[in-house]
Chain A
Amino acid sequence: MPIRSLTSQTDLFRQAANEASDALSKWLGRPSSITINSVSIMPITKAVGLLGVTDTPLIACAMGITGPYSGLLVLTGDDASGLALADMLLGREIGTSTEWTEVEQSAAVETANIIGCAYLNAMAADPQAASHSTSQPLMPSPPWFFRDYAAAVMESLLMAQATLADNVFLTHTDFQVDDMPGKCSLLFIPEAEDIG
């Protein structure tokens, strides 16, 4: 479904981010807050540096989305924030996890699943999506985890759009959870053909 008017979609993305934040609070049993940083089109070079880092490690849990809105939904953050999320989920003192073993990766992926599904549920409730002629429902793939240089992660996430245009569209929401050092971010990166 073409995202023809970014302005008209801003409320939808905001609502989806709020739902995701509520789900995160329930999932972790701690208050969380969000900041909608951007719902915008920007040059790809700017988008690559969107999270403020390029050469530090970034973790990403990405879900492929199909249906009326298609693209990627990605929970991302630096090591400290991601490992803190894992500690919270595993009931450990924050700072216990120092590396990404299978346990921490699994915790991050599950968190992405919870946040991502809440986000998508809000989007699926949008009348425009509900009335779309496609019979395919809004469906996420299982999230997959990867960790790499921030610039390489962002480049790869944006590649599908970059193949068709010099500018990319994405939504960027920061999540902050009590006691978490830093923040994690949720990015929605639509397929290029969905950008009208």
Chain B
Amino acid sequence: MAIPPETPSSPTSDRRFFSGAIGMGEIGSAHDTGVLRTFVGSCVGVALYNRRLKIACLAHIMLPESKGRSSQPGKFADTAIPEMLRQLKQLSHGQTVRWSAKMAGGAKMFAFQSGMTVGEQNILAVEQILGNLDIPLLGRCCGGTQGRRIALDVATGTMTIETMGGNPETI
């Protein structure tokens, strides 16, 4: 479910002051100011943004491939990124914009997991799709064994990543 920028965080807030929490398989987008947040374990949080226009979008991607399923585009890397671009195009009123990307997550949460984990597959899929679309990946904080709390600053594209008991990382 997309979180449209027309839905402010409170009835009295200006649309420029949007902030929102994005659930599993969801996409949120906003412009001007605000923070988009999500939690990821083996999922990945992918941000697309343009600092000049102060427009940003964050997706909580769960799986690499939709395999034809389209009920929830944010859930899969191959459907989420096109949907993010669609939302961003709307927010930028159809301008030709050079978007940048950042990504965090893809942890191996369970010690017993062997072979290529879902997290690793998600990371690879996102990197490949961004590469095909010629969208530069300017920062990544991926892998490991811990979940992450992600906060994306809409105005700057700065992504802050926190782990339980660790120091926050900014990319």
Contact = CB atoms under 8 A, between A and B. Distances in A.
Interface of A: 44-45, 48, 54-55, 57, 62, 64, 141, 144, 146-149, 151-153, 155-156, 159, 162-163, 166
B112 A144 contact: yes
Given A45-B25, A54-B39, A162-B62, 7 more contacts: A146-B109, A151-B147, A155-B39, A156-B110, A156-B147, A162-B24, A162-B75
Interface stretch (B27-35, B40-48, B133-141): B40-48
Contact of B62 (A54, A144, A159): A159
Given A152-B41, A156-B110, A45 B24 contact: yes
Nearest to A45: B23
Interface in B41-100: 41-43, 62-63, 71-72, 75
Interface residues of B, number: 26
B148 interface: yes
Interface string B2-25: 000000000000000000010111
A21 to B, nearest CB: 27
Contact of A55 (B25, B26, B149): B149
A91 to B, nearest CB: 28
Interface string B116-146: 0010000000000000000000000000001
Contacts, number: 75
Nearest to A57: B164
A156 B109 CA distance: 7
A44 B147 contact: no
Is the contact region of chain B dominated by helix, strand, or loop, or is it mixed? Answer: loop
Contacts of A149: 39, 147-149, 164
Nearest to A155: B41
A149 B166 CA distance: 12
B164 A148 contact: yes
Nearest to B21: A54
B42 A156 contact: yes
Given A45-B26, A149-B164, A166-B75, A155 B110 contact: no
Contacts of A54: 21, 39
A151 B146 CA distance: 12
A187 to B, nearest CB: 15
A163 B39 contact: no
Which of A54, A62, A146, A155: most chain B CB closer than 10 A? A155
Contacts of A153: 41, 109, 147
Given A144-B110, A147-B164, A159 B149 contact: no
Given A55-B149, A144-B110, A159 B42 contact: yes
- Across the A-B interface, the 7 shortest Cβ-Cβ residue pairs: A152-B147, A151-B39, A45-B23, A156-B109, A152-B41, A156-B41, A148-B147
A62 to B, nearest CB: 8
Nearest to B71: A166
Which of B41, B43, B75, B107: most chain A CB closer than 10 A? B41
